[in-house]
A and B are shown apart, each in its own frame.
Chain A
Amino acid sequence: MSPKTGRRILLPALAALLAIGFLLSMISGPVKTSPAALLEFLLGHDQNFKTIFWELRMPRALLAFLVGSSLSLAGAILQGYFQNPMADPFVVGVSSGASLGAVLCLVLGLNVSLAGFSSQSLFAFLTGYGIVLLVYALSLKKGFFKVETLLLTGVAAGALASSLTSFLLFLRADSYEQAVFWLLGSFQLASWKQAGAVAPYFLVCLVLSQWLAKDMNLLSLGDETAQSLGCPVRRVRKIFLATATLLAAVSVSVSGVIGFVGLVVPHWIRIMIGPDHRYLFPYSALTGGIFLVFCDLIARTLLPATELPIGIITAAVGAPFFIFLLHRRG
C-alpha cells in the first residue's frame, strides 16, 4: 500500500470512527440513556439528562480526545527526534516527573487552582517540565549533546522520579489508593474547564510541529546532512523537545500517566502511511485521540460497579493490534 492510498483510505475511516466514538461516549455509561434521549436533549426537549450529557460525558470524551492526540503527537515528535522507535513521553522523564509532582501535591495536601488547572495539575506540569530541563542541562557538554546521552539521562531521571514517588506514597500511605488511580490515569473528573485548559496547548503544538515537519524529515537524514540542506538543526531540535514536553506534561497533569498511546499510535500510522512527518504528525494526533476516546469508553463501561484506570485498557487493546500490524508488515 503506497502512502498516498493509505492516506486516502485512512482519512474517511478515521472520520467515521471519530463520529462513532463520540456518539457511543454520549449514549453509554452507568446511567442508562438511549440514543432517543440524546436526540431529545439535542433538540432541546429534554432537560433530564442535561448534566450527564453536557457536563459529564461530552467534556470527558473531548478531554480523552485531546489527551490522546497530545500524547500521540508527543510520541511521534520524540520518535523522530531520537531516531528511535522506542521513544515516547516516558523516555525523557516527563511522565514520571509529572506524576511525581501530582503525588507530591497529594501528600502535601495543597489545594489551589490557576487558569483551569488544579494544584495537582500545576505541580504535575511544573515537575514534568522541570525534569526535562534538568535532563537537558545534564546532557549538555560545552553547549553540545549527544542524543544517546539525552535518552539515557532521561531514562535515569525518570527512574529517580518514580522512586521518589513510591517513597512519598510509602510515607503517606493514606493517599495510596488515590495516588494509584492518578498514576494509572483516568478521565473520571474531566470537565469543560480541563478540556478548555488543554485545547490551546494542543493546538499551538500541533501548528508548531506541522510548521517544522519538513525539518523533522531532514533530521532523519542525520544532523550534518540536515544542516547542509539548510535546516537550523539546533534550533529545530530545541523547539521539538520543548513541544513534546509541553504536550506530555499538560496531558499527564489532567489525566494522570496514560502509557502506550504515545509509543504505539505513531507506529501504526507509520506502517500505514509511511514516515513523512508532514502526514505522520496530524494523522498520529487524530488517531491517538480516537484511540483514547474508545479506550475511555471501555474503561468506564467494562465493569458494572466501577471504573478501570485507563492505562490498563490502552495497553490491553493497543498491544495486540500493534503486534498484528508488525507481523503483517514483516
Chain B
Amino acid sequence: MRPGRLVTAALLLALMPAVCGAQRKPEMVLDDLGNSFPFSVPPRRIISLAPNITEILFSLGLDETIAGVTRFCDYPAEALSKEKIGGLVDPNLEKIQALHPDLVIAFRGNPLRTLARLKELRIPVFILQEGMRVEEVFQTIEKIGLVTGVPQRAAELIFSLKAGFGRTREALRNAAPSPRVFISLHGSGLWTCGRESFLNDLLEKAGAANIAGGVSRNWLLMGRESFIQQDPEAIIILAKSFADFEKGRKWFLSEPSFRKVAAVRNGRIFHLDENAASRFGPRLLQTLDRLARLLHPEVIVEQP
C-alpha cells in the first residue's frame, strides 16, 4: 500500500466516531443479563414482576405508567389498586398480554423460562438481579430510571439514599463494638441469612456481626447447637406484623435450650418490618436506620 492511501485510511478512521456521533444512535442500557435496551422512547405501560421493582417505580414517580403489578406488591398502598398479573413465580402470561405492556421489569425469582416465553410473545422484558451488597440497589434504581426514561429522578433518589447511608455511617463512628446478632427470617425456627444475602451486608453496615455471616449461602437453616454456641447478643425477627413478631419472640423465649443465650437472657429481641427489609429497594435505608438504632442505642442516629 502506498503511503498516500495509508494516510487517507487513517484520516477516515479518525473521522469515524464523529460521523457516527452525528447520526445519533439510540442510547442503550443493559439489563442484568446483558441484554441491551434503547431508552430513547419512554415506556407508557410498565408491568412490574416483583414488589421491590414496584416500590422503585413508585419512588420514581411513575404511578401513572404502571399498568400491572404482582399480588405481593402491597407498598406503597397505591400499588394495591393496580391490576394484578399473578405472583412472583407464577406471573400469568394471559393477563400480562391483555394489558399490552411496552415494558416488563422482572427480578430474580421470576422463572427465566416464563420470561423467555414473554419475549417470544414480543414483549420487552428488562431483567434485574438482586445484589449481595446494599449499595448495588443504587445501580438497580439507576437502570430502572434509564429504561423508564426518568434518569434525573433516579439520580435524585440515589443522592438522597446515599446521604442517608452516609449519616448512619457517621453516627456509628463512635459506636460500641459490633454485637453478635442472629437475624430470624421466619419468626419461629432458625432460618437465617448467610454471607450471600444483602441482609448480611445490611447488618454489617448497621454495626452488627451476623452469627451466620461465615456461611457462603443466601439463606440457611441454622442448627440449634451452633446457635447456642455462637451465643447471639441480639435477635432480629423479620415479621410482617407486630403480632407475627410476638409469636416469634415467644418462641425464642420459650425454648428451654435457648435460656442461656445472651439475647434471650437480656430480652434483646427486636422486630424488623419484613417487607421493608427483604425487598431490594429504597426502603433498605429505613431498615438500616432502624437496625442501627436498635443495636446501638448508645449513639443517636439522626432521622434521615
Contact = CB atoms under 8 A, between A and B. Distances in A.
A227 interface: no
Nearest to A190: B117
The binding surface of chain B is classed by DSSP as mixed
Interface string B168-179: 000000000000
> Among the interface residues A29, A51, A111, which one has the most CB atoms of the partner chain B within 10 A?
A51
Contact of A181 (B84, B89, B117): B89
B255 interface: no
Interface residues of A, number: 23
B95 A51 contact: no
A202 B206 CA distance: 59
Interface in A270-327: 305-307
Interface string A38-64: 000000000000011001110000000
Contact of B117 (A173, A191, A305): A191
Contact of A30 (B94, B112, B114, B121): B94
B90 interface: yes
A120 B219 CA distance: 25
Given A52-B97, A178-B111, A307 B92 contact: yes
Contact of B95 (A30, A57, A174, A178): A30
Contacts of A210: none
A55 B121 contact: yes
B48 to A, nearest CB: 16
A180 to B, nearest CB: 9
B71 A305 contact: yes
A120 B116 CA distance: 13
A118 B113 contact: yes
Given A118-B113, A173-B219, A189-B117, A30 B89 contact: no
B278 to A, nearest CB: 14
B95 to A, nearest CB: 5
B149 interface: no
Interface in A125-184: 173-174, 177-178, 181
Interface string A102-122: 000000000100000010100
A56 B93 contact: yes
B151 interface: no
Contacts of B98: 31, 52
A51 B121 contact: yes
Interface in B93-128: 93-95, 97-98, 109, 111-114, 116-117, 120-121
Contacts of A31: 94-95, 97-98
A177 B219 CA distance: 14
Given A174-B218, A177-B89, A306-B87, A120 B94 contact: no
- Give me the 3 closest cross-chain CB pairs, A-B, nearest first: A31-B98, A177-B89, A189-B117
Given A51-B121, A193-B120, 19 more contacts: A52-B97, A55-B121, A56-B93, A56-B97, A118-B113, A120-B113, A173-B218, A173-B220, A174-B109, A174-B218, A181-B90, A181-B111, A188-B93, A188-B114, A189-B113, A189-B117, A305-B84, A306-B90, A307-B92
